């Protein structure tokens, strides 16, 4: 086993010592004798074909499962005190160890492995919930099945979607798109909130949308809907994962970005957690597991809320929340990652947040006035990305100039642009019912 092998050791520190007997009840796993014979522990056995690059991905996963089930069955028959679930004798990048105290965990993992095998063998798809109810008495709780799926994804080195296991996500979507889902029918996001599930990945879409806006929280999502987001942006799609992004939401956004070529914009809290959520959407989790491999949207563009937006909008200082010790720790951990990823804007905003020792939530924009977020935050920044480069300044350059207006005395939370000056800038903003006129007017005034 090479030096990069990752071992997930679930054995107990103090194993019970008893008479020499089988510490595990033989679990009801149906393995053909021929399969067992094919995967014996002899010197002549060769399991290199399991990782053969020429094999289709599905076939590789099936071969790995067959080996794992046959091998674990042999270990049980030999009355091994500690059982090892693995996909190869030599090449397993990940293995799971079970002591006699982990019989339930072993039982759940093996049943889950069989369910995944059936899905792949029969080319079927199933949700986590459906898998849970197939063996509810064994899994006992949904979280136990979720744990088994994560373990199996690591064991097989495959993402959950590649194993035909679908998740009922928590994200929702609303806007100018209609999904045609097999066995479900037409789902029109123009007239209803659509629950984001993996089934949308295999749908056909009908849409005239021009962009997708991802917001961090459900409260912001509902606020924008109440403030007529669909009238203001009739060719926009609004998405939220209600906090930390789940895998289903990230995969569906990735599909919309790659298949439909929609530009994706992100609106998050101006705090360490909001910025971390943005990085998760764009690059995946800092410690991504096999279950969520590839679930990120590299094209997503952060348009706010920036910590430095405190200087640009009518945000009352009472909306500034002091950074906690945990916030400082998170920021210090995120800065090296943002530098490594080349996220210069993120690095600068994190640095500004540390210097000023406060954070902002998206709700602080709502305190500025009705529909303020849509008119003065979303509209100009979405439009600035959509215009051809020869007709506008790059957004990064616009942000650079805006940052240069910040007073050095920002520790005292002084505005670089006074409220009366800001009011003068926006006094001629007339928002016509026509969306293009609305966006044009806001951009013209915002660029002053």
- Per-residue pLDDT tens for 375-427? 889 999 988 665 543 333 444 454 444 444 333 333 333 333 333 433 333 33
Q: CB neighbours of 323 closer than 8 A, spacing ≥ 6?
A: 272, 331, 353, 354, 357, 358, 359
- pLDDT score of 49: 41
Which DSSP string corresponds to 212-231? EEEES-HHHHHHHHHTTHHH
Out of 3.90.10.10, 3.40.1360.10, 3.10.20.600, 3.60.15.10, the CATH code matching 172-387 is 3.40.1360.10
The H or E element that residue 211 is part of is: strand 211-215
> What pLDDT score was predicted for residue 440?
39
Q: What is the pLDDT of residue 383?
A: 80
Which of 8, 98, 117, 133 is catalytic? The answer is: 133
Q: pLDDT below 70 — which residues of the chain?
A: 1-54, 91-92, 384-448
> What predicted TM-score, i.e. pTM, was given to this entire model?
0.68
Please, are residues 97 and 84 in contact by the beta-carbon 8 Å criterion? yes
Residue intervals in the chain for CATH 3.40.1360.10: 172-387
Round to whole Å and give the CA distance between 266 and 224. 14
pLDDT value at position 54? Answer: 64
The reported pLDDT for the residue numbered 80 is 83
Q: Report the alpha-carbon distance of residue 233 to residue 388 in Å, rounded.
A: 19
Q: Are 77 and 86 in contact (CB under 8 A)?
A: no
Active site annotation includes 430: no
- 80 exposed, middle or buried (CB, 10 Å; 0-12, 13-18, 19+)? middle
CATH architecture entry for 54-166: Orthogonal Bundle (1.10)
Q: What six digits make up the tokens of 307? A: 């910590």
Say what the pLDDT of residue 23 is.
Answer: 41
- pLDDT tens digits along 64-95: 999 999 998 899 888 888 888 988 877 667 88
């Amino acid at each position: 086993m090479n030096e990069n092998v990752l071992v997930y050791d679930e054995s107990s520190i103090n194993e019970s010592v008893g008479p020499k007997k089988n510490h595990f009840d033989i679990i009801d796993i149906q393995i053909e004798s021929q399969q067992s014979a094919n995967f014996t522990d002899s010197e002549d056995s060769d399991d290199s074909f399991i990782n053969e690059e020429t094999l289709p991905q599905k076939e590789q996963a099936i071969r790995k499962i067959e080996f794992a089930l046959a091998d674990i069955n042999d270990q049980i028959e030999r009355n091994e005190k500690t059982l090892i679930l693995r996909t190869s004798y030599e090449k397993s990048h990940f293995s799971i160890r079970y002591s006699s105290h982990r019989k339930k965990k072993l039982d759940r993992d093996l049943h889950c492995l069989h369910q995944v095998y059936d899905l792949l063998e029969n080319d079927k798809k199933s949700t986590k919930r459906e898998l849970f109810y197939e063996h509810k008495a064994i899994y006992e709780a949904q979280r136990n099945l979720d744990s088994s799926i994560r373990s199996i994804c690591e064991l097989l080195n495959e993402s959950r979607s590649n194993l035909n296991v679908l998740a009922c996500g928590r994200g929702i979507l609303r806007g100018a798109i209609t999904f045609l889902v097999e066995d479900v029918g037409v789902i029109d996001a123009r007239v209803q909130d659509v629950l984001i599930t993996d089934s949308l990945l295999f749908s056909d879409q009908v849409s005239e949308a021009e962009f997708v806006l991802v917001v961090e929280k459900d409260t912001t999502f509902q606020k924008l809907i109440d403030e007529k987001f669909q009238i203001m942006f009739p060719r926009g799609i609004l998405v939220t994962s209600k906090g930390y992004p789940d895998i289903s939401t990230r995969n569906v956004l990735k599909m919309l970005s790659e298949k439909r070529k929609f530009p994706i914009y992100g609106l998050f809290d101006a705090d360490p957690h909001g910025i971390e959520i943005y990085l998760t959407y764009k690059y995946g989790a800092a410690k991504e597991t096999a279950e969520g491999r590839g679930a990120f949207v590299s094209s997503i563009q952060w348009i706010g809320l920036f910590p430095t937006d405190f200087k640009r909008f009518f945000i009352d200082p009472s909306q500034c929340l002091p950074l906690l010790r945990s916030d400082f720790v998170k920021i210090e951990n995120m800065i090296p990652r943002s530098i490594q990823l080349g996220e210069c804007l993120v690095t600068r905003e994190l640095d500004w947040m540390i210097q000023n020792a406060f954070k902002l939530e998206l709700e602080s924009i709502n305190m500025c006035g009705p529909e303020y977020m849509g008119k003065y935050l979303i509209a100009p920044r979405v439009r600035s990305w959509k215009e051809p480069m020869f007709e506008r300044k790059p957004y990064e350059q616009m942000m650079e100039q805006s940052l240069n207006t910040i007073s050095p005395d920002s520790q005292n939370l002084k505005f670089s642009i006074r409220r009366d000056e800001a009011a003068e800038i926006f006094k001629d903003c007339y928002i016509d019912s026509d969306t293009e006129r609305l966006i044009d007017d806001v951009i013209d005034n915002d660029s002053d």
